[in-house]
Amino acid sequence: MRLVPFLPRNNVRIRLSEVMSALSYALDLVEGQPEGHSVRACMIGMRLGAAMGLSGSDRSALFYALLMKDLGCSSNAAKMCFLFTADDRATKGDIKTVNWRNPISSLRFAMTHVAPGSPMLVRIKRIIGLAAAGERAGKELIQIRCERGARIARQFGLSDATANAIHALDEHFDGGGHPDGLIGDQIPLLARIMGLAQTAEVFLRQHGLAAMRQMARDRRGTWFDPDLIDRLLAITDADALWGDLYENTAANLAQYEPEEEERFADDQQIDDIAYGFAQVIDAKSPWTFRHSLGVADVAIGIGGVLGLSAAELRNLKRAALLHDVGKLGVSNLILDKPAKLTPEELTEMRKHPDYTYRILRKVAGFSDLAELAASHHERIDGKGYYRGLSGMQLTRDIRILCVSDMYEALAAKRPYREDLNGEQVMAILQKNAPHGICPETLEALVAFSDQGTFKPYQVAA
């Protein structure tokens, strides 16, 4: 792992923790958690790690594992939405306080969360279907997210200890967890800490300290390591500072990274993170399975035709890879809807560039990147969203990103329309120039497309 500080143009040193905590807010969105859940879970877990006397390198591995614990969570969102016939964010958000190993709690949860708003008969049928899928479906959902999360953590350049902890996040101390049913010390200590820390954060926030302590006692030795529970109870007894978790959350986080292990992201690692996170974004919906990667390929292709420098291409590629990070906050009921969106759904969908901006803007050195990435649905005539920029407010790079996004989206299959061939795609784009999209950029796209190197991803029917 290289530790060369990356100095972008405005001379801001980018701490890896700053990048990871910003992206953890995107993971909170997918999990239906309020902003800062992962960061607060990180602070709780780091207190536990310190109480356990972990070494600096172990605490560093734990720190990043806690921030990135939900890296794989987007990959089961569509399936969760399908199984529950409900907003995946609501299901994921509420399931964190349910003891799903208790049949009565599980049934109660199903009664309130399966196909909400549908006629009773439909809901009963769905609940029976869910019960039939049962344990196997639950294990599969967790397996997908654990494996994917661990793989992407490695792509980010995070350590094996971090990746292994992410993989084992949902194991339970008594062997009743998933995906491998590990028991006791078979579960990496970091994973045991993470599982407890994330549950403690949710109970503490939703129901207060007493409820969190009760949950800890109830799940001692079943879900969680008894030794860790004792440490948690001891900390919560002695430590009056738990309220601080909810004030200046992001600023407070930095003090939890072991000083001697403080890490900075270099250019290559930022590239790797953008590439890895694009896969997290694309995995949210089967219909956009390669969208961000495709938009990046097209943007680089257009940039190459227009003669952009290597540094400009690098920035453009990062923005293209991360442009739809805000879509992690949109329900799969909307993303995967096989019909035209209602005005309300369209309004929800159109919030995603704003989410993109707010997530990326959390990294001080990413201000230009945030502006560019969040502008990918703007139009020359000002009729785009979400800011309604117009004319020269759309910089060269914004124009490239807008055209690339439209091209990839039109060339790929979508649940709400017939497939389009290459000529139809180009005809639609031509119709949108010059009032909507930039004609010179479109010309560059045509030149790139004629090279025949880009093949749009087509989801299996």
What token pair was written down for 210? 């007493």
Return the sign of the alpha-carbon dihedral for residues 446, 452, 456, 461.
Answer: positive
Closest distance between Fe ion and the C-beta of residue 228, in Å? 41
Report the alpha-carbon distance of residue 198 to residue 223 in Å, rounded: 12
Active site residues: 327
Residue with smaller CB distance to Fe ion, 93 or 326: 326
- Smallest gap from residue 326 Cβ to Fe ion (A): 8
- Give 201 or 324: the residue with its C-beta nearer to Fe ion: 324
Rounded to whole angstroms, the Cα distance separating 286 from 445 reads 26
Q: At its nearest, how many Å lie between Fe ion and the CB of residue 291?
A: 6
Considering the complex, what minimum distance in angstroms separates the CB of residue 335 from Fe ion? 11
Name 414's bridge partners: 417
Peptide bond into 103 cis (omega under 30): no
- The rounded distance, in Å, linking the Cα atoms of 294 and 411 is 10
CB of 352 to Fe ion, least distance (A): 6
Beta-carbon count within 10 A of 50 CB? 15
Q: What's the closest the beta carbon of residue 329 comes to Fe ion, in angstroms?
A: 12
Number of neighbouring beta carbons within 10 Å of residue 427: 12
Residue nearer to Fe ion on the CB measure, 257 or 405: 405
> 351 in helix, strand or coil?
coil
Residues forming beta bridges with residue 224, ordered by sequence position: 220
Distance of alpha carbon 384 from alpha carbon 380, whole angstroms:
8
- Judge whether 335 and 287 are in contact, CB under 8 Å: yes
Task: Map 102-150 to HEC letters.
Answer: CHHHHHHHHHHHCCCCCCHHHHHHHHHHHHHHHHHHHHHHHHHHHHHHH
Least distance in angstroms from the C-beta of 408 to Fe ion: 7
User: Contact residues for Fe ion (CB under 5 A)?
Assistant: 324, 405
How far is the C-alpha of 74 from the C-alpha of 328, rounded, in Å? 7
Long-range contacts of 237-246 (CB under 8 A, 24+ apart): 239/47, 242/204, 242/209, 245/40, 245/43, 245/44, 245/201, 245/204, 246/36, 246/40, 246/205
Alpha-carbon dihedral of residues 357, 442, 436, 402, nearest 10 degrees?
A: -10
HSE-CB of 141 using CA atoms within 13 angstroms: 23
Phi, psi angle pair for 443, to nearest 5°:
-60, -45
Q: Among residues 171 and 405, whose Cβ is nearest to Fe ion?
A: 405
Q: How far is the CB of 192 from Fe ion (least distance, A)?
A: 38
Assign 224 to helix, strand or coil. Answer: strand
